[in-house]
A = this chain, B = another copy of it.
Amino acid sequence: MTDTLTTVLDGRWAELKTRLRERMAATKPPDTIGLDMESHRAQVLQQLHELAEAGHSKVSDDVGGSVISFQMLGYGDLSLMVKAGVQWGLFGGAVQMLGTERHEGYLRDIVSLDLPGCFAMTETGHGSDVQHLRTTATYDDGHFIVDTPDLGARKDYIGNAARDGRMAVVFAQLITGGREYGVHAFMVPIRDEQGRPMPGVRIEDCGPKAGLNGVDNGRLWFDHVRIPQEALLNRYGDVTQDGQYTSPIESDSRRFFTMLGTLVRGRISVAGGAGSATQRALTIAVRHAETRRQFRRPGGDEEVLLLDYLAHQRKLLPALATTYALHFAQEELVAMLHEVQSARVPDERAQRQLESRAAGIKALATWHATSTIQAAREACGGAGYLAENLLPALKADTDVFTTFEGDNTVLLQLVAKGLLTDYRDNFADLSPLATARLVAEQVMAAVLERLPARTLAESSDLRDRAWHRQLFADREEHVLAGLARRLRAAAGGDPFDAFNDAQDHVLRAGRVHIDRLVLDAFVNAIEQCADEATQALLNQVCDLYVLSNVEADRAWFLEHGRLSPARAKKVVAEVNVLCKQLRPHATTLVDAFAIPEQYLP
């Protein structure tokens, strides 16, 4: 059963995963416990060189495969994963996606790690709102002058900057002929061969962090640093010798978001890394709960295994089910990325969908990682607090995932804004008849809310997948429609207040949309599974995913007449039943992640 489950989990890139697992199983990774920051950084750099030599980072046409390789690093020291992500994903990715032929020479050196580099986007004053970065790159007679005008414009939290980076892709406002054309990316040398800062470049170490201390984050200041004109990564915008700005995209804003969009791989990779870390934490916690006993059974001498307690099952098993769900959603997302970025003709609509889905799944997967790893730590008690049992590093290292590569709150808003735009577009496109039908449906929904809820599908089986899908889809539609109405009603007033007053509603719209996509992905994966017993088990896991999601959100379903009080109580009871039924399979379910034993305590 474990093997067939692993096959389902491995999916499209199964062969690659098997190969990587074999490589991981062949050697024990070096220990990170008790390392001081400098030793940890040195160790991670050494490991990064070994990865480069093993061909981990070679540029290939297998876009999806490269994300999967990255994800697999998530079973080990996450500092290595992040350092690899900075070097090859962000730094290399920017050169690849934003540069042109003239930058191809760099790529070879980036891949071989002969040119370690940084992705210098975030500034002290601007992290989420990168469109308004304040570093400038002013064209001057065949050169650009890169400058940090004030403290808020220094580049901050930049990986690879404090110790190892020699070059940085610097994002700055391009200015030529006295006009600003928005943010562009420039190749700026920051250290010489001897590792000394280049003239005009000031570098500061961000110092110790909560986790990821094997990554050397730093700050960069540029004091009128002169770089050649060719240093501009000029795929989406260029400057002629005489200072004329040219671009295939006219709008500064659209150009900027197109450039950002090409970098979506980073976000998808973080979501994948969060998934690997979550799987590892659950494997540790389930194994502990299957060996650790506490308190005797009434009237007996035998002590009870932790995993036999309902409260313990509730700590771990719904999180495990959600981890499965998010895993399948991540697999779909990687496949989508693969299709979009491998397509001969760019599909703008598909690209937009990909960006939205990547933003949403990144947000949900990283929040899920934070809460699940926390639950795993608590479920292991004092043992979970000891570094030797790996959970402390997992917690500390993954913590920043919720706010880097896009702050989760901002990302969910992006998702919702995209949905609102689509909603408006669809509404505008509708024929009068269709519009009337849509309005009628909304009125109907409002009426339903006022009816006793038991009239609504109260009789169907709590494990009926069709009902689950209807429940999720209906929630998504209703939340979005309500939000659109609410924003329209507030349209007369201050635009900031109108949106801000509904921000909790906005975030919910993003979240429930992604929840629906996650469920769809789970259902698709189950359908692909040929083995009947495995399918049956996966169906139970999916039931637990759905019902624990509904349980957590049942106030909404009750408020909107989608569940009656009696049925809502049954949902809670059914989660308990499912925990009991899945409890004997917990070990199988975590073993199916097939994490090499060297990566477990």
- A contact set with B: CB distance below 8 Å: 33-34, 36-37, 122, 125-129, 132, 156-157, 206-211, 293-299, 303-304, 308-312, 314, 370, 374, 377-378, 381-382, 384-388, 391-392, 395-396, 399-400, 402-404, 407-409, 449, 495-496, 499-501, 503-504, 507, 554-555, 558-561, 565, 568-569, 572, 576
Are B34 and A34 interface neighbours, CB within 8 A? no
Q: What is the chain B residue whose CB lies nearest that of A302?
A: B496
Q: What is the chain B residue whose CB lies nearest that of A503?
A: B310
Contact of A500 among B37, B308, B408, B504 (CB under 8 A): B308
Q: How far is the CA of A449 from the CA of B564 in the complex (A)?
A: 12
Contact of A378 among B209, B381, B403 (CB under 8 A): B403
Contact of A208 among B33, B298, B404 (CB under 8 A): B33
Are B156 and A382 interface neighbours, CB within 8 A? yes
Tell whether A209 pairs with B387 under 8 Å between CB atoms, given A294-B129, A296-B132: yes
CB-defined contacts of A384 to chain B, threshold 8 Å: 403
Contact of A207 among B377, B386, B402 (CB under 8 A): B386
Q: How far is the CA of A37 from the CA of B36 in the complex (A)?
A: 10
Q: How far is the CA of A370 from the CA of B558 in the complex (A)?
A: 29
CB-defined contacts of A209 to chain B, threshold 8 Å: 385-387, 392
Q: How far is the CA of A567 from the CA of B451 in the complex (A)?
A: 16
- Can you list 16 A-B pairs with a CB-CB distance of less than 8 A? A33-B208, A34-B37, A34-B207, A126-B294, A129-B296, A132-B303, A157-B385, A207-B387, A209-B392, A210-B391, A210-B396, A298-B495, A310-B500, A310-B503, A395-B399, A396-B396
Are A385 and B561 interface neighbours, CB within 8 A? no
Contact of A295 among B129, B309, B495 (CB under 8 A): B129
Are A382 and B403 interface neighbours, CB within 8 A? yes
Q: How far is the CA of A395 from the CA of B395 in the complex (A)?
A: 10
Are A385 and B34 interface neighbours, CB within 8 A? no
CB-defined contacts of A503 to chain B, threshold 8 Å: 309-311
CB-defined contacts of A310 to chain B, threshold 8 Å: 500-501, 503-504
Q: How far is the CA of A404 from the CA of B386 in the complex (A)?
A: 13
Tell whether A504 pairs with B576 under 8 Å between CB atoms, given A37-B34, A392-B210, A449-B565: yes
Q: How far is the CA of A209 from the CA of B298 in the complex (A)?
A: 35
Are A294 and B501 interface neighbours, CB within 8 A? no
Contact of A127 among B33, B312, B382 (CB under 8 A): B382
CB-defined contacts of A210 to chain B, threshold 8 Å: 377, 385-387, 391-392, 395-396
CB-defined contacts of A404 to chain B, threshold 8 Å: 382
Known A-B contacts: A210-B396, A560-B565. Give 11 more (CB < 8 A): A33-B207, A125-B293, A127-B294, A128-B295, A207-B387, A210-B377, A210-B392, A211-B392, A310-B504, A395-B399, A555-B555
CB-defined contacts of A407 to chain B, threshold 8 Å: 381
CB-defined contacts of A299 to chain B, threshold 8 Å: 495
State how many angstroms separate the Cβ of A371 from the closest Cβ of chain B.
9
CB-defined contacts of A499 to chain B, threshold 8 Å: 298
State how many angstroms separate the Cβ of A425 from the closest Cβ of chain B.
20
State how many angstroms separate the Cβ of A501 from the closest Cβ of chain B.
7
Are A297 and B392 interface neighbours, CB within 8 A? no
Tell whether A294 pairs with B128 under 8 Å between CB atoms, given A385-B209, A576-B501: yes
